[in-house]
Chains A and B, each alone.
Chain A
Amino acid sequence: MTTFLQRLYLGLVGLFLSLPLIVVAGVSVNEKQTLAFPPQGFSLSWYGEIFANPEWRNALLASITLAAVSAALALAIALPLAWFLWRRHAPWANIFQLLGIAPFTLPPVITALGLLTFWATTGFYGQPWTAAISHAIFFVTLPLVTLSLGFSSIDRSLVEAAATMGADDRTIFRTVVLPLILPYLVSGYAFAFVLSLNEYIVAYMTVGFTMETLPIKIFNALRYGYTPTMASVTILFVAIAALIFGLVARFGDLPKLLGAMANTDKQ
């Protein structure tokens, strides 16, 4: 009886989380351009539309480019910082850890507005590359957190062994540290990539009038009424996120990444 109630509760939460997506998935296969559920007819043409219609295709390409570049930049900021904090004893340097986490903790509109005033003042407002830097700063928290976790899980005696055998910092980093933190590096990149792909407000405030990312495109389209392409894009994005997080879970330890203890005590 209690197991039944427990399952029922989990099931209800699951239903709440999936219901909007089920309806959107249904809407996305409508044959005609109607907002109807259950769908009338069946057609996958609205998925083709994402790639066939130049507006949607360009928005998708812009989003993917932005996500790939900004996640790489976020990693380039986070990796040396996390390494330094792990390798050196310099308490004052923790201020940079704090700075890396702040943009993500504050309401996003604040970071967005800060960057908007900054780009407007420096005269670069609207340049596509400003969005990449803005996203990198906004999402640097994610690789920073996963990498800090990765470094703290390294057994220091391994590093010591390499050092006694004469390896310098560079060699140790390449041959010992890097292979050990690789899963954390990849998951940090994955988190930053997926979130950048979905980010709206920072992108909108920095390059909203010159470049259309997919979330901006959906919002603009939403104002002029409904097209089923919005639904197919939504499902595409859910699928991309699920695929990427599924891969992270497959090749890494997701419970541990999300702060649970190492799972030696569970099957």
Chain B
Amino acid sequence: MRREAPQRLADYGPLLFPAGMLIVFFVIPFATMIAVSFFQRDPAGFYSTAFVFDNYARFLSLFFGKVLGFSLFLAVTVAICCVVIAVPFTYLLSRARRRTQVLWLVALLSVLSLSEVIIGFAWSTLFSRTAGITNLLVAIGLMSEPVALNPSFGAVLTAMVYQALPYTVLVLYPALVRLDPTLTEAARTLGASPVKSFFTVVVPALRNTIVATLIMVFIFALGSYLLPQILGRPQHWTLSVLITDQAIYQSNMPFAAAMAVFLVLVTLGLVGLTLIATRKGEAA
């Protein structure tokens, strides 16, 4: 059966419920949020109607600049760490037996679906003084007494890499499975070591995929809102944490909305970049 254009009005029937739900509960909330970003804060309620740019003007402060700078820096670092670990891993995974692949995929999905709360709790336990990893180092004689490793930047970074790594692998997976195995075989036949053929054949062939993945993981890391709170100090707070904080604890919805709009613009810009990167990849 060929796909045909809808002819009668009734043909649009099935679209009614999905379209209605998405418009009412996604488009309208989104528009409400943009509108609220121009409203004024009302200490008595959520906000009062107005049209002001004050909420956006607050971005020009040094404090906000620091938070934004740190958020971007943290997300970039997480993205680079994840891609560096995930590319060789996914490559090996895509060459493994099917049963092994399925087992890994189940494990990766299970970790990926874990709540940020749970990941934060698990790592805070691992970094704690009483039950943490330093006890192990004491036991084998590398350290004299256990210490707490959080709150610290390292703790935030480790947990965020942990959170984003399964995502990175799953983004890379389709591209690596489709990678023509004869490419590396040819390199091996010509005498390159497996490591050399990986870096000279696999990595260049995947350049555009890797760039697109970096951007996607960057966006994913930008969305982390609990790990910096649980494992870091206030100077490790990101834009996402600040938005939550303003909306819930400071009851300043207009400012939170303005920051969210700003975050959307950053994200959309990056999605645009991803599309350009992958399109170039298809052309090549």
Contact = CB atoms under 8 A, between A and B. Distances in A.
Do A and B actually bind? yes
Interface of A: 2, 6, 9-10, 13-14, 16-17, 19-21, 23-24, 26-27, 34-37, 76-78, 80-81, 83-84, 86-90, 93, 96, 99-100, 102-103, 105-118, 120-121, 133-134, 136-137, 140, 156, 159-160, 163, 194-195, 197-201, 204-205, 208, 214-216, 218-219, 222, 230-231, 234, 237-238, 241-242, 245-246, 249, 254-255, 258-261, 263, 266-267
Ranked 8 nearest A-B pairs via Cβ: A107-B223, A259-B174, A118-B29, A37-B131, A20-B122, A198-B115, A81-B18, A114-B29
Interface in B93-146: 93-94, 97-98, 101-102, 105-111, 113-126, 128, 130-133, 135
Contacts of B6: 88, 90
A137 to B, nearest CB: 5
B15 A81 contact: yes
A83 B88 CA distance: 38
Contacts of A140: 22
Determine chain B's interface SS by DSSP, over half rule: helix
Given A114-B26, A200-B116, 19 more contacts: A2-B195, A27-B131, A107-B263, A110-B33, A110-B260, A110-B263, A111-B26, A114-B29, A118-B29, A118-B33, A198-B118, A201-B244, A219-B226, A222-B117, A222-B121, A242-B106, A245-B110, A260-B173, A263-B98
Given A10-B92, A118-B32, A238 B105 contact: no
A218 B118 contact: yes
Contact of A9 (B1, B89, B124): B89
Given A84-B14, A117-B29, A222-B230, A258 B105 contact: yes
Contacts of A218: 115, 117-118, 121
Interface stretch (B58-66, B162-170, B204-212): B162-170
Nearest to B159: A20
Contacts of B102: 249, 254-255
Interface in B49-94: 85, 88-89, 92-94
A107 B122 contact: no
A238 to B, nearest CB: 6
Interface of B: 1-6, 11, 14-15, 17-19, 21-23, 25-30, 32-33, 36, 46, 85, 88-89, 92-94, 97-98, 101-102, 105-111, 113-126, 128, 130-133, 135, 162, 165-166, 170, 173-174, 177-178, 193-195, 219, 222-223, 225-226, 230, 240, 243-244, 247-248, 253, 256-257, 260, 263-264, 267, 271
Given A23-B125, A27-B131, A245 B106 contact: yes
A14 B103 CA distance: 12
Contact of B223 (A10, A100, A108): A108
Contacts of A14: 107
Contact of B131 (A36, A83, A115, A237): A36
A259 B115 contact: no
Contact of B166 (A17, A111, A114, A267): A17
30 contacts: A2-B194, A14-B107, A16-B165, A17-B165, A20-B162, A23-B122, A23-B125, A26-B131, A34-B130, A35-B128, A37-B125, A88-B6, A89-B5, A90-B5, A106-B267, A109-B223, A109-B225, A114-B26, A137-B21, A156-B2, A159-B1, A198-B118, A199-B115, A201-B225, A241-B114, A258-B170, A258-B174, A260-B177, A260-B178, A267-B98
A6 B92 contact: yes
Determine chain A's interface SS by DSSP, over half rule: helix
Given A78-B18, A198-B114, A237-B118, A88 B5 contact: yes
A114 B21 contact: no
Given A20-B119, A93-B15, A245-B109, A259 B173 contact: yes
Contacts of A99: 22-23, 26-27
Contact of B115 (A84, A87, A200, A266): A200
Given A198-B118, A258-B105, A113 B257 contact: yes
A36 B178 contact: no
B105 A108 contact: no
Contact of B19 (A23, A83, A96, A106): A96
B263 A266 contact: no
A126 to B, nearest CB: 12
B122 A21 contact: yes
Given A205-B247, A230-B121, A245-B106, A114 B92 contact: no
A113 to B, nearest CB: 5
Contacts of B107: 14, 17, 242
A118 B226 contact: no
